[in-house]
Amino acid sequence: MPDLKIGVLVMSYGTPESMDGIEEYYTHIRRGHPPTTEQLAELSGRYEAVVGGVFPLRENTNRQVAGLQEKLDTIAPGRYVCYQGLKHARPYIEDGVAAMFKDGIRTAIGIVLAPHYSVMSVGGYIKRAREKADELGLEMTFVESYHLHPKLIEALVHRVKSALDVFDRTRPLKVLFSAHSLPEKIREMNDPYERQLNETSAAVAEGAGVSDWQFTWQSAGRTREPWLGPDILETLAEAGERGYKQVLSAPIGFVSDHLEVLYDLDIEAQAAAREIGVKFERIQMLNTDPLYMDTLAESVRTQDKWPF
């Protein structure tokens, strides 16, 4: 008999399981095209620089999925069971959907550990999950974004406020909100990504009482096509030229400690800031912040239209 529980497919980017797994991972990101020896060495070097061969995103995703399960169990005991589905690593999104089906689940809700929707990011996760669900005959619905959920904003405001404490508030200070860049062509698709990111930034800035802020991009891909800019390295240099000596980085497009934060911001941007004499600090990532877990749980509940 089919299970009456609702499956919750929690989707995240995924990370290699070990240094040996980087090539397979990178090949998957490049849609089956293996990286060149130089590209592989460059990416491996970034992982080594950050964590010496440990991949924090995996543990963080595991903890976030467990945290969401715990919240859902508190709100609606016994109704939901969480599964993991990763974009570029095992268990893949399709594996997560198949695992739910194998366990007898016939209705499920999908949610991505990324608050902002783009057809090229969250849209890609949803497309793959939906295709697998349709193939198996599993009914699925999705949370597309939660970028203005009051508890998400509250958690980010709290982080910005506590990070501001380490600066000299009597002197000029720029807050740089950032998110992963995407190819510029999304602009022609009327994609909500940029608008949603600006809305989150504005809401957090207002809540934290910050007036001097800017949204900027980071971590653009190394391809020939144009990516959305300006990049944080340019924005940082420009702030330096305009006399700022203090910058707070708030990567609101991400929810975990991982490569794009621990390398691109904490190592690369930090080194650039040091070179121009700018004090550069970053807000703490959300990871398993209870307010973020509430955001996810409440977004899942809102999407649950099935009778009890």
Among 114, 205, 286, 296, binds ligand FEC (CB under 6 A): 114
Size of the site for ligand FEC (CB under 6 A): 19
Stretch that binds ligand FEC, among 132-140, 194-202, 252-260, 299-307 (CB under 6 A): 252-260
The beta strand positions in the chain, using DSSP E, are 6-12, 80-86, 107-112, 139-142, 174-180, 213-218, 246-250, 279-282
177 beta partners: 215, 250
Point out which span in 184-192, 194-202, 258-266, 282-290 binds ligand FEC (CB under 6 A).
258-266
Q: Which of 6, 10, 43, 143 binds ligand FEC (CB under 6 A)?
A: 43
> Of 83, 16, 10, 26, which is closest to residue 54 (Cα–Cα)?
16
Which secondary-structure segment (H or E) carries 148?
none
- Regarding 150 and contact with ligand FEC (CB under 6 A), the answer is no
119 binds ligand FEC per the rule CB under 6 A: no
Question: Which CB, 259 or 269, lies closer to ligand FEC?
Answer: 259
Q: What is the DSSP letter of 35?
A: P
**Helix, strand or coil for residue 170?**
coil
Which residues have a Cβ under 8 Å from the Cβ of 152 and sit 6 or more positions away?
Answer: 115, 146, 200, 291, 292, 295
Binding mask 167-206 for ligand FEC (x = CB under 6 A): -------------x-x------------------------
Least Å distance between CB 158 and ligand FEC? 22
Per CB under 6 A, 128 contacts ligand FEC: no
Contact 98, 9 (CB under 8 A): no
Which residues lie near ligand FEC (CB under 6 A)? 13, 15, 26, 29-30, 43, 55, 57, 114, 121, 180, 182, 221-223, 253, 258-260
